[in-house]
């Protein structure tokens, strides 16, 4: 078999090695942003996110929960709106994220989708979400469904995030919390613990080396071609 690669730019080809994949330790705790998708006074997606925040804090993370109250619908305000600025700053701050939305008409809520729609793929030369880890979750008013987590995975991939394999879907969420808004012991709660453990593991593995893991041959080739064009133009 001919092993030559005539269409490859060897100067831009990366040969992955174990050493290149190693991540140096960081001086600060893993930074996790949590988003939920309901403005109800007793929002079960918020209550799930709060349970996640407690677990992540116990595991050593620094956590922040974004409150979507007051976030305008996209295209009704510009990106200087204070809530938009707050959301984008938290996106930049985070190294991993937890997304949890209720299922409404077989889909995520508009409240949740609006949060993602306000976050561009790039801000200048910076990509706010690329390479960050992501855990996806949903709460259901009835029987268990996976419509929302499947959609959130598509969103996470589109936002160039590293979405972990595990996920959580809480059926009949209104039965899973006590009068103090704490989640009762159950297989659903155990699954949430599983997901948070996995998110922390992936975040610790990737956070200081995410730029290497998402570095792309096609983009390196494109950048080299643009640089060559600029050099040629200056020499004319």
149-187 tens-digit pLDDT: 999 999 999 999 999 999 999 999 999 999 999 999 999
In a domain, 21, yes or no: no
CATH assignment of the domain containing 87: 3.40.50.360
In a domain, 6, yes or no: no
In a domain, 68, yes or no: yes
pTM of the model: 0.88
Residue 24: strand, helix, or coil: coil
Q: What's the mean per-residue pLDDT of the chain? A: 91
Lowest model confidence (mean pLDDT) among 32-36, 95-99, 121-125: 121-125
In a domain, 168, yes or no: yes
In a domain, 148, yes or no: yes
pLDDT cut 70: percent of the chain above it: 99
Instruction: Kindly list the distances between the CA atom of residue 110 and the CA atoms of 53, 81, 101, in Å, as whole numbers in the listed order.
Output: 23, 19, 10
pLDDT cut 90: percent of the chain above it: 68
* Edge-to-edge order in the sheet of strand 133-139: 62-65, 31-36, 96-102, 133-139, 162-170
| Look-up of token digits 């295209």 | 75
State the residue range of the domain holding 108. Answer: 26-235
124-140 tens-digit pLDDT: 767 889 999 999 999 99
40-98 tens-digit pLDDT: 999 999 999 999 999 999 999 999 999 999 999 998 999 899 999 999 999 999 999 99
User: How many domains is the chain built from?
Assistant: 1
Pairing of β 31-36 and β 62-65 = parallel
229 has pLDDT over 90: no
**Averaged pLDDT, 99-117:** 95
């Amino acid at each position: 078999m001919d092993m030559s690669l005539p269409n490859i730019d060897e100067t831009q080809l990366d040969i992955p090695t174990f050493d290149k994949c190693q991540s140096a330790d960081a001086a600060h705790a893993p930074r996790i942003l949590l988003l939920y998708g309901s403005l109800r006074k007793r929002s079960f997606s918020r209550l799930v996110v709060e349970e996640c925040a407690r677990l992540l804090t116990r595991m050593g993370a620094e956590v922040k929960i974004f409150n979507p109250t007051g976030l305008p619908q996209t295209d009704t305000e510009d990106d200087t709106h204070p809530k938009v600025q707050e959301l984008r700053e938290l996106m930049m701050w985070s190294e991993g994220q937890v997304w949890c939305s209720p299922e409404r008409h077989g889909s995520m809520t508009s409240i949740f989708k609006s949060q993602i729609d306000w976050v561009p793929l790039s801000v200048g030369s910076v990509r706010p979400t690329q390479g960050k880890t992501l855990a996806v979750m949903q709460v259901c008013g009835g029987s268990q469904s996976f419509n929302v987590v499947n959609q959130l995975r598509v969103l996470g991939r589109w936002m160039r995030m590293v979405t972990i394999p595990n996920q959580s879907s809480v059926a009949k969420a209104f039965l899973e919390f006590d009068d103090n808004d704490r989640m009762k012991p159950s297989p659903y709660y155990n699954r949430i613990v599983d997901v948070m453990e996995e998110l922390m593991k992936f975040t610790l593995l990737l956070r200081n080396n995410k730029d290497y893991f998402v570095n792309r041959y096609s983009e390196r080739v494109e950048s080299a071609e643009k640089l060559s064009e600029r050099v040629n133009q200056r020499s004319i």
